[in-house]
Every structure is written in C-alpha cells, then in structure tokens.
Homo-oligomer: A and B are copies of this chain.
Amino acid sequence: MRKLRYQVACSLDGYIAGAQDEFDWIVEEPSFDFEALHAQFDTIVMGRRTYEIVHAMGERFPGKRVIVASKSLRQEEHPEVEVVGEELEARVRELREQPGLDIWLYGGGELFSKLLGWGLVDTVEPAIIPILLGGGVPLLASSGVRQRLELTSHKVYPSGMVLLAYKVRGARE
C-alpha cells in the first residue's frame, strides 16, 4: 500500500520555515540525493501557504499530481494543481487507497495536524538542520494531540543534517 509521508526540513527547535516564511537557513547538502527522493512519490499534498511560497520560488513538480488544501484558492486560477477544500479528508483517503507511488506531505504544519488527526499520516521524516531559528512556522501546528512515533531509520550527513524517519504508531501496516 502506498504511504503518506511527511518529509520536510526542520530546524532543531521544530520550525519548517522562518518567521517570514524564509528557507535560506536550509544548508546545502551535496551528498543528499534529491532525485532519488522525488522518484519515490507521484503525488504531493501541501497547504495553501506552502503552495504560495514554493510557487513564488518557481518550484514546479513535473509529472506529479499536486494537491493544494485550500478553501480560498480558486481552481480556475491554478490549473496546474488540484485545489481541494471541504472534501480534503475524503480526497486524501481515496488517494491513499489507490495504487501508485507514495504521497508526499510537502508542508506545512497546519495540514500535517489535520491529516494526523484523521489518521492519514503513515510516516514523519524530518531532516533536522543544525540551526535554532527561535521562531517561525512549526513542524506541527499546535493541536494538543499527542502522537507516539516509532523510529525506523536515521542518517547523518556531512553538513550535520540528521534525517530521521518515524512510523506513526497506530498507522496501518
């Protein structure tokens, strides 16, 4: 079965973007194989804020289905993606049941919180960058809901980046 995986760069103090949405703190890691990572997914799910940031940065995802969770974006103005509003839970559930490569939860913390609450997240895979940001966009939006994890792998890179992978306890096998 395909998995929904939250793969994201994160500061040691738990932020996925700076207070002004900046990403300039993410260190270069030449030994990390981004191509191999991208090749594991055919579908990407992201929140509206993440979408606006990556879109403004000119990032595109050729050959992948991109779902943007938003109740305010208008589909006809964003033909390159699939805008999903109220029906988000049902749509993600359906996609997760379909055959295919894994689904990449690309960001951010609000969407992660919702999907986690619905039991739709299989793994959490933060790449911890050696920096403290002292503020910004949290890895997980404040929800008050605890979630036990199971560490399944770890890898340390020359830059000091630590890639951790966890299985969400209670997620399907």
Interface on A for B, CB 8 Å cutoff? 12-15, 18-19, 25, 113, 116, 124, 126, 128, 130-135, 138-140, 142-151, 154, 156, 160, 162, 164, 166
Contacts and interface: CB of A to CB of B under 8 A. Distances in A.
A19 B144 contact: yes
Q: Which of A142, A151, A162 has the most CB of B within 10 A?
A: A151
A60 B158 CA distance: 40
Nearest to A159: B151
Contact of A154 (B135, B140, B162): B162
Given A144-B19, A156-B154, A166 B134 contact: no
Given A140-B134, A144-B135, A12 B150 contact: no
Contacts of A13: 14, 138-140
B156 A160 contact: no
A23 to B, nearest CB: 13
Contacts of A143: 134-135
A134 B144 contact: yes
Given A14-B14, A139-B12, A166-B12, A132 B149 contact: yes
A33 B154 CA distance: 22
Given A154-B162, A162-B154, A164-B162, A131 B148 contact: yes
